[in-house]
Amino acid sequence: MSNVYPICRPRRLRRSDSLRAIFQETEVRIDDLVLPIFVEENVSDYMPVSVMPGVMRIPESRLAFEIERCAKTGIKSVMTFGISHHMDEVGSDTWNENGLVARMAQICKHTVPEMIVMSDTCFCEYTTHGHCGVVHDYSVDNDATLVNFGRQAVVAASAGADFISPSAAMDGQVQAIRTALDDAGFYETAIMAYSTKFASAFYGPFREAGGTALKGNRKTYQMNPMNRREAIRESLLDEQEGADVLMVKPAGAFLDTIRDIREATHLPLAAYQVSGEYAMIKFAAAAGAIDEQQIVRETLGAIKRAGADIIISYFALDIAEQGF
């Protein structure tokens, strides 16, 4: 009886590095990555974030140096988070034209004008209670928070921010910000909305990094991680309200949501590889359980393959410096 050989042999295209490279379908480039940075005012020393190995709180006095360093590695986009020493009940420092939100954008744009600055637009790092807006009767007041969103957005845009990135998960936040920006003449300032933001346990390490005072949770305004249809609805509402870019956060556990939204919209789509995702990889690599570089490639590749155009990742600087 004669031997029967397979006609279709997919392995033909995997025989060498060159063949595998030429037929690779998904590529993550440094241009696709945004580096989140934590900037603390009124301090002189860097502060390591113990639960996020390799991540530091940057003293405001060193921000210009760090932006130059990022630019030299090829990073073109940063997202700014402030650690404020001027907290109050409503986060009013965020709409102070000389406050930390404004100063971060000014320093970044003055140092490297071509750097794309995405100003995280929220209140949790600037309020004494750690919630993302105005608290009345133990609940976040959605509409009072919208007014303050407009104030913060105009201050950030005035300081040079290229993107306003509202992350508080308030209903109508994109419309409120777009109206405030347009009324102030900032027609060209874009909005990258945290349009599908889940109430996720993957944010845990961020609390140390960002210095939030939160007690309790944000489940009344962030999304239930078990809801798929609602996730699509949330992002499409932000598109209707004038968002220029949509976002899914977190990324790794919600690849199905990234794909769903990619198929539902023609807007650019971002995804945020959050602090918990970063920490798990770092700690597992330190324990010798995984190869960090390979895992970073795979996780970022999966996010891109699912449909994200932009990936916000704490690994961006590692990749830029070490060429993962």
Q: So which residues are the catalytic ones?
A: 197, 249
- Residue that has been written with the tokens 């390490």 in this structure: 205
From the number of C-beta atoms within 10 Å of its C-beta (0-12, 13-18, 19+), residue 322 rates as exposed
Look at the chain and count its residues.
Answer: 324
* Beta-carbon count within 10 A of 106 CB: 18
CB 45 within 8 A of CB 86: no
Beta carbons within 8 Å of 221's beta carbon, 6+ residues apart: 132, 133, 140, 142, 168, 169, 170
Residue 270 dihedral angles phi and psi, to the nearest 5°: -105, 160
Contact residues for 37 (Cβ-Cβ < 8 A; gap 6+): 58, 63, 66, 78, 79, 80, 81
Residue with tokens 């907290």: 87
Which residue is listed with tokens 């928070």?
145
Distances (CA, A) of 245 to 52, 136, 157, 194: 27, 31, 17, 9
CA separation for the pair 62, 19 (Å, rounded): 45
Cα–Cα distance for residue pair 170/172, rounded to 1 Å: 6
What's the half-sphere exposure (Cβ side, CA atoms, 13 Å) at 180? Answer: 22
**Integer CA distances (angstroms), 181 to 132, 154, 317, in order:** 20, 6, 31
